Structure 1
Amino acid sequence: MQDYHKPFNESLDFVEKKKNFTNRYAQSITEQVVHSDINNVAKNNKLTEEEVWSMVKNVANKILPVDVKNLQKLGIDEISLVKSQGKFIVVLVDLSTHKLIGLVAEIKQEAIKKKMLEWGDKVLNQIKEVSMDMTGNYKSLVKKLCPNADVTVDRFHVTKMIHEEFLQARIEQKKAASSLKAKERANLLDSLKGSKYTLLKAENNLSDADKVKLKQVKDASLRVGAMHTLKEEFHSLFEKSNNLGDGILELTDWLKKAQPYYKKSVETIKRWLGEIVGYFESRTTNGIVEGINTKLKLLKRCGFGFRNLRNFEIRALLFWHFPKELAQ
């Protein structure tokens, strides 16, 4: 005879085993975390941070690891999440989908290799292009792991290098003003003061006031003026070159003219010429990675509850990969 007085527990498929919350509730909490942070979500829902994080991890286990089976264009970059501490992490991005696909805790080749090997040989062999900066730390590794990939240097990094050398020349001009006569010194310093963003901005985007400032700088410093003209020519050749042949010729001509002014940049470009001119064929840009890096820094600043990189990676990956159907 069946004992009707014996207690029993009904199995509910919408409640995780050994969990006291429903899947729908966990998804709702996780969506809130995606757009906020652990601390505020806990307060707003009268939960502990541990309870919130438990739900986030529960949902993340169903979504992660990220599906990379269609990965063909990979972007690799470095980012410092803690300013002035010199500690960098590596950011891995699918340049076709513009989404983060992984973070590596350190910039050592072994750490990056371990992360990429998780994707499997099939994915690594199908990658056609890897875009990176010019640190030199990743090129040999990529050649080994991704035998069918072309390594390209993103124009963003080359442009950034040129801008840095340009601004350094501006600073040196200000220092050199001390050797000039009083009137000339005052004129040069007054012209260079507040000119940083005017000099870096694309000339066709300058306001009337910016144009006046630019002319003032060029009249006061022939060197800065010449470097500005070269900077604009560099931008233009990457915008207008329609094929590999034209791109190489125009870049080679630019290097000759730029040699007296951009010595460091010219030498670096020559060392990486093959990878840089690859842009003229693929037109691949790593610029999207900068947007992702900016978002990662923002997430770090409001990332209450993230005490290690793995937790931070989960939070970051959920931002780019939380399914829309779960958010509805």
Structure 2
Amino acid sequence: MYCIFNENIHTLDRFYHLSSTLSIDEFRATTDQGTFAFNITNPISGKTLDIIADRRASYLRNYFLRFPHKERKKVKIIVMELSGALQSIMYALFPHAKIIADKFHYTKLVRENMVQARINCCKQLKNDSLSKIIKNNLHLFDQYKERLHTQKAWYRPYFKKHMTNRQPVEAILELESCEELQINYDIYQDFLDILNKPNSDYKKSLNNWLNNIFDTNNQYYMTTARNFRKKWFLPILRSLTYTVYSIRNGKTIRTCFNNGFIESINNKVKLLKRNAYEYRYFQNLRKRILLHLGFGYQII
């Protein structure tokens, strides 16, 4: 089967015009060309434009410089993860493009700060039972508090009564021994408020959130706050204020710019690799992904 697939099925060469909006992300591929491959899509149409072998700067430059300067000037928006090196490359290749940070990636950074604060709190607690109940309910601390169940209750052995998902979180944070955890939890929830609640001035809200961290010199969020303020303030602000009308299955959907479509493709890639017990060569992996996405092919 491998020989038939490798020698007799040929995917057509990819020739396409750059769209005004690009969405880019990496995924773990093979080691024969580059450990991480690069996925390029149009987030509005939900169309994969190409999959290339490596994410290194030299490879990306050689790939995109195939397009004339006039074509690259057409690109107005690029949605991407938080990578300073990649950001510099995109600005150099696409002079008229505005970078939009993917919401999933920068929210993940803030959540990781909260997780570290929770871990340190558990280490410092003298009450092992309390530490255990925090660890067993860590998913409740990671969620946006407005989405925690407030109707259905479950029996909580530690508290010896039935409680909703929000009540044990509030009860734990009210304890004097968890004062530092509450401070960091509130900072995390304030950030989620900016993302989830309607806001007439996202710039002011984001600045206030960052200023609070700098004013309190918070050890957990300081590195992230500096990174946001110095390199990613405008890309994050654009992700909150810019909207797009995406076309999916013939339906028009109003949403924000994000890499959700690419992430779904990356999950499919993981399934393809698992079903094939991994791929040794990138070209075979790329061929299989493009076939799965419905691209044309020839049988030799």
- TM interval, short-chain normalised: 0.7 to 0.9
Deviations 1:212-243 (A, max 9, x none): 33224313422222323322221221334556
Whole-angstrom distance in 2 between the partners of 1:270 and 1:305: 40
Please give the TM-score of this superposition, normalised by the length of structure 1.
0.71
Distance 1:72 1:52, change over 3 A: same
Please give the TM-score of this superposition, normalised by the length of structure 2.
0.76
Residue of structure 2 equivalent to 1:262: 221
State the Cα RMSD in Å.
Answer: 2.7
- Ranked by relative contact order (alpha carbons within 8 Å, sequence separation 6 or more), the top structure is 2
The answer to whether the aligner puts 1:116 opposite 2:89 as a matched pair is no
Residue of structure 1 equivalent to 2:170: 215
- CA drift of 1:160 comes to 0.6
Residue of structure 1 equivalent to 2:234: 274
Whole-angstrom distance in 1 between the partners of 2:130 and 2:142: 18
Whole-angstrom distance in 2 between the partners of 1:319 and 1:278: 33
What is the SS of the residue equivalent to 1:138?
helix
Whole-angstrom distance in 2 between the partners of 1:147 and 1:196: 44
Structure 2 gap ranges (5+): 154-163, 243-255
What letter corresponds to residue 269 of structure 2 in structure 1? L
The answer to whether the aligner puts 1:164 opposite 2:112 as a matched pair is yes
Identical counterparts, % of pairs: 23
Residue of structure 2 equivalent to 1:206: 148
Residue of structure 2 equivalent to 1:312: 285
Whole-angstrom distance in 2 between the partners of 1:120 and 1:232: 46
**Higher share in helix:** 1
The structure that has the greater radius of gyration is: 1
What is the SS of the residue equivalent to 2:99?
strand
Residue of structure 1 equivalent to 2:271: 298
Q: 2:123 aligns with which of 165, 169, 175?
A: 175
Distance 1:210 1:70, change over 3 A: same
Residue of structure 1 equivalent to 2:24: 76
What is the SS of the residue equivalent to 1:278?
helix
- More moved, 257-266 vs 136-145: 257-266
Structure 1 gap ranges (5+): 1-47, 324-328
The answer to whether the aligner puts 1:247 opposite 2:247 as a matched pair is no
Residue of structure 1 equivalent to 2:133: 191
Residue of structure 1 equivalent to 2:4: 51
- CA drift of 1:173 comes to 1.3
**Higher share in strand:** 2
